[in-house]
Chains A and B, each alone.
Chain A
Amino acid sequence: MSEQNSNNQNDNDQKMLGIIPLNWRFDLASIPIIRWMLKQRWFPMIIILANMFLFMVILMSGVIGGFSSGNYSFGVMFVWILWWVVLMMLLVPVLSRTWCMICPLPSFGEWLQRMKIFGVNNKLGGLNIKWPKKLSNMWIMNILFLITTFFSGFFTVKPLATFFLLGGIIVLGILLSMVFEKRSFCLYVCPVSGFQGLYSNMAMTEIRVKDPAICAKHKKKTCVTGNKKGYGCPWLLQPHSFKRNTYCGMCLECFKTCPFDNMAFNIRPPGTDLLVNEQRGLDEAWKNFIMLAIAVMFYVAMMGPWGTLKNWVRGETLAGWLKFITLHTTFGLVAIPGTFLITSWVSKLVSGAKDIALRTVFINLSYCLIPMGMAAWIAFSFGFLLPNGSYILHILSDPFALGWDLFGTANIPWTPVGTGWLVPIQFAVLFGGYIISVDFGYKLCLQTYGDTAVAKRGFIPLLVLLTLVTVAFGWLYGG
C-alpha cells in the first residue's frame, strides 16, 4: 500500500468537504494479482470479446427482431435501460472511463489496424493520417452528441433506430480508423466519449504514473512508442505525464509497455481532476452545458406529463420536431451558457479582480457544474431504472421476442420497483451533487482568483446560481 503524491500543483493540501484529503490515493495495482492481470495481453481483450458477443445480440435484435415495440426489444432495453444507466450511475462516476476499456464499438477498426487481436504489431495498417489540429477538441463530440439527442424519440424506442445508432458508431469507427491513426475516432468523434471524458473527472479511479522521476529518466518512453509487450498509447497521449482522466481510455497498454512497472491504477476521492488546470477550454465548458440541457430536456420529454412535447420529440409532425430541436439547441447552446456567462461576469465584478480574463473565470468555474450535472443524470437514471428495470429480466430470456425462455424469466411482468421512493432518492442525489458542486465551486474560485478574500466575494454569485439550479432540478423532479 502506498500513498501517492498528488499531481495537483498548487492545491496540495486541499480536502474534499473538508474531510477527505484530495491527494489520498490507493494503488489497486499494488496488489500483485491485479498488476499481473493488468499486464496480460488477454486483458481486457477477453472482456471486449464477451462484450462483442452481447453487442452482436443487441444489433441483431434491432434488425431481425423486426419488432416494433421498444420496451420488449433486447437492443433498446439493454442499451437504454441497462447500459446507459450503469454508465451514468456506476461506470463513469466510480470507474472513470472503464467503459472504454471494455467497449467493443471501435474494436473492428482497431483489429483491422493491428491485424491482431491479442498480439502486438506496432506497424499499424490503415492510412495513419494525423487528426487535424483544428479538430483536436471536444467540439465534434459536442455537436454529434447534441444531434444524437435530437433523435432520442427514435433511438430510445425503435429497435431499428438503436441499431442505426450503434451500427453507425461501429461503421464510423472502422472508416476513421482506416484513415486516421490509432483511436482518433474515440478521442475526437465518438458521441459517448465526450461526456464520459468530462464526467470522469469526477471518477474515483485514475491511471497515473507512480513516480514521475522514473519517467523523467526513461528516455525511450515506451508507453508512447510501444514495444514488444504492447502498443504505444492508442489514445495518443503521454501516459508518463497524465494529469486528468478526460482523455484516457484506460486501455491498459501502458501497464504492459512500461518496463519499470511505473503505472498505477489508483483509487482516489471523487472529483480531484476538477481542480487540475490543464487543457481546460470552451469545448469542455460547453460539453458541461449541453449535458445539463439534455438532462432537463430528457426529463421533460420522457418523464414529464406533457403530451404535446412528446409528440414533438417523436416526430409526429416535422414542424413539431423542428420546434423541439430548436428549443433544445437554444437551451443547450445559448440559454444555459448565457446564464452561466452572466454569473461569471457578476462573479468577476463582485470579486473586484481586475487582471483575470472573463474567459478564464467562465471556463474555470464551469467545472463546478460537473458534480451538479452528474447528480442530475444519476437522478434521472433512477427514474428510468426503477420503473422499467424489470423489462431487463424479460428481454434477457427472450431477446428476439420469439417466445424463448432462456433463463426462466420471460414471464415476469412489468413490475416497477421502489418507485414510491423515486423522488426522495432523486432529492438525495441532487442534494449530494449540490454540496459537492459548491465545495468544488469554492475551490475553483480560490484557484481562479488566487486570493481568499477575492475568491470569497467571487464565490457568492456562483453559490447562488448553484442553489437555484439545484432547486430548479428538485422542482422538476418532484416539486
Chain B
Amino acid sequence: MSIIKTVISAILLLVCTVGPIVATLVYESSRTRDLTAEILARTPEKGNFSPRYLKVALGEKIKLRVRNVDTVVHGFAIPALGVDAGEIKAGHYAILEFTPEKPGKYDYYCTTWCSEFHLQMRGVLEVTAR
C-alpha cells in the first residue's frame, strides 16, 4: 500500500516538474519537423537575423519560420523572390513557404524600420544548382 502511494507521489512529482519541459520539447520538435530553417529576427545590435546565411538546393520546397524574438516590430522579405511576410510584431512569427526557380544568392531583409542599423538587418539565402 505504502509503495503504491510512493509511486503515485513520485509520478505526480515528475509530471509536475519535468513534465512541462519534456512536453514542450516533444511538442515543439513534432511541429517543426518539416521546417527548412528557423530565422530569429533581432535588431542588428542584439544579434541581427540568426542565421544570416542559409543554403538550400534548387527545387527544394523551402519552409521558413521567422520568429520575432525582439521587442520591436520587424519584417521579413526576399524581394528578388517576391517573398514577403509583412510586418512581424514582437512576440509573433511568420511561416513562409516558397520554391525558388533559379539558383543564385538572394538577400533577405527586415522591412520595418527597427533601429539605427536597420539597413544592416539582412541575410543571404543561397540556392545552389544540383
Contact indicator B90/A52 (Cβ below 8 Å): no
Give the residues from 101 to 148 in chain A that come closer than 8 angstroms, CB to CB, to chain B.
111, 116-119
Contact indicator B5/A119 (Cβ below 8 Å): yes
Q: How far is the CB of A208 from chain B (nearest CB, A)?
A: 31
Decide yes or no whether B103 CB sits under 8 A from chain A. no
When distances are taken between beta carbons in the complex, the residues of chain B under 8 Å from A68 are 42, 46, 69-71
Q: Which residue of B lies closest to A401 (CB)?
A: B91
Write out, one digit per residue, whether chain B residues 80-123 have a CB within 8 A of any chain A CB (1) or not (0): 00000000001111010000000000000000000000000000
When distances are taken between beta carbons in the complex, the residues of chain B under 8 Å from A459 are none
Residue of A64, A71, A73, A401 with most partner-chain B CB within 10 A: A401
- When chains A and B are docked, how far (Å) is the Cα of A386 from the Cα of B81? 43
- When chains A and B are docked, how far (Å) is the Cα of A117 from the Cα of B92? 40
Contact indicator A60/B21 (Cβ below 8 Å): yes
When distances are taken between beta carbons in the complex, the residues of chain B under 8 Å from A66 are 69
Contact indicator B67/A56 (Cβ below 8 Å): no
- When chains A and B are docked, how far (Å) is the Cα of A64 from the Cα of B21? 10
When distances are taken between beta carbons in the complex, the residues of chain A under 8 Å from B71 are 68-70
Write out, one digit per residue, whether chain A residues 385-401 have a CB within 8 A of any chain B CB (1) or not (0): 00000000010000011
Q: Which residue of A lies closest to B8 (CB)?
A: A118
When distances are taken between beta carbons in the complex, the residues of chain A under 8 Å from B5 are 118-119
Contact indicator B70/A118 (Cβ below 8 Å): no
Q: Give the dominant DSSP class at B's interface.
A: helix
Decide yes or no whether A50 CB sits under 8 A from chain B. yes
Q: Which residue of B lies closest to A413 (CB)?
A: B89
Contact indicator B24/A400 (Cβ below 8 Å): yes
Contact indicator A69/B70 (Cβ below 8 Å): yes
**With contact pairs A53-B15, A66-B69, A69-B71 given, residues A403 and B93 touching in the complex (Cβ less than 8 Å):** yes
- When chains A and B are docked, how far (Å) is the Cα of A60 from the Cα of B16? 13
When distances are taken between beta carbons in the complex, the residues of chain B under 8 Å from A111 are 13
Number of interface residues of B (CB under 8 A): 27
Contact indicator B67/A402 (Cβ below 8 Å): yes
Q: How far is the CB of B103 from chain A (nearest CB, A)?
A: 30
Q: Which residue of B lies closest to A410 (CB)?
A: B92
Contact indicator B13/A117 (Cβ below 8 Å): yes
When distances are taken between beta carbons in the complex, the residues of chain A under 8 Å from B128 are none
When distances are taken between beta carbons in the complex, the residues of chain B under 8 Å from A69 are 69-71, 90-91
Q: How far is the CB of A177 from chain B (nearest CB, A)?
A: 17
Contact indicator A67/B69 (Cβ below 8 Å): yes
Number of interface residues of A (CB under 8 A): 27
Decide yes or no whether B34 CB sits under 8 A from chain A. no
Write out, one digit per residue, whether chain B residues 44-58 have a CB within 8 A of any chain A CB (1) or not (0): 001000000000000
- When chains A and B are docked, how far (Å) is the Cα of A70 from the Cα of B28? 21
- When chains A and B are docked, how far (Å) is the Cα of A362 from the Cα of B46? 52
Contact indicator A117/B24 (Cβ below 8 Å): no
Give the residues from 28 to 68 in chain A that come closer than 8 angstroms, CB to CB, to chain B.
49-50, 52-53, 56-57, 60, 64, 66-68
Give the residues from 391 to 426 in chain A that come closer than 8 angstroms, CB to CB, to chain B.
394, 400-404
- When chains A and B are docked, how far (Å) is the Cα of A60 from the Cα of B18? 11
- When chains A and B are docked, how far (Å) is the Cα of A62 from the Cα of B15? 20
Contact indicator B17/A56 (Cβ below 8 Å): yes
Contact indicator B69/A401 (Cβ below 8 Å): yes
Contact indicator B13/A71 (Cβ below 8 Å): no
Residue of A52, A71, A403 with most partner-chain B CB within 10 A: A403
Contact indicator B21/A401 (Cβ below 8 Å): no
Decide yes or no whether B63 CB sits under 8 A from chain A. no
**10 tightest A-B CB contacts, nearest first:** A72-B91, A69-B90, A117-B9, A403-B93, A69-B71, A52-B16, A53-B16, A56-B20, A49-B16, A57-B20
Which residues from chain A sit less than 8 Å from chain B, CB to CB?
49-50, 52-53, 56-57, 60, 64, 66-73, 111, 116-119, 394, 400-404
- Add 19 more A-B contacts to A53-B20, A402-B28 (CB < 8 A): A49-B12, A49-B16, A52-B17, A56-B20, A56-B21, A57-B20, A67-B91, A68-B69, A68-B71, A69-B69, A69-B90, A70-B71, A71-B90, A72-B91, A118-B9, A394-B91, A401-B92, A402-B67, A403-B67
Q: List 25 A-B contacts (CB under 8 A).
A: A49-B13, A52-B16, A52-B17, A53-B17, A56-B16, A60-B24, A66-B69, A68-B42, A68-B46, A68-B69, A68-B71, A69-B71, A69-B90, A70-B71, A72-B92, A73-B91, A118-B5, A118-B9, A400-B28, A401-B67, A401-B91, A402-B28, A402-B67, A403-B93, A403-B95
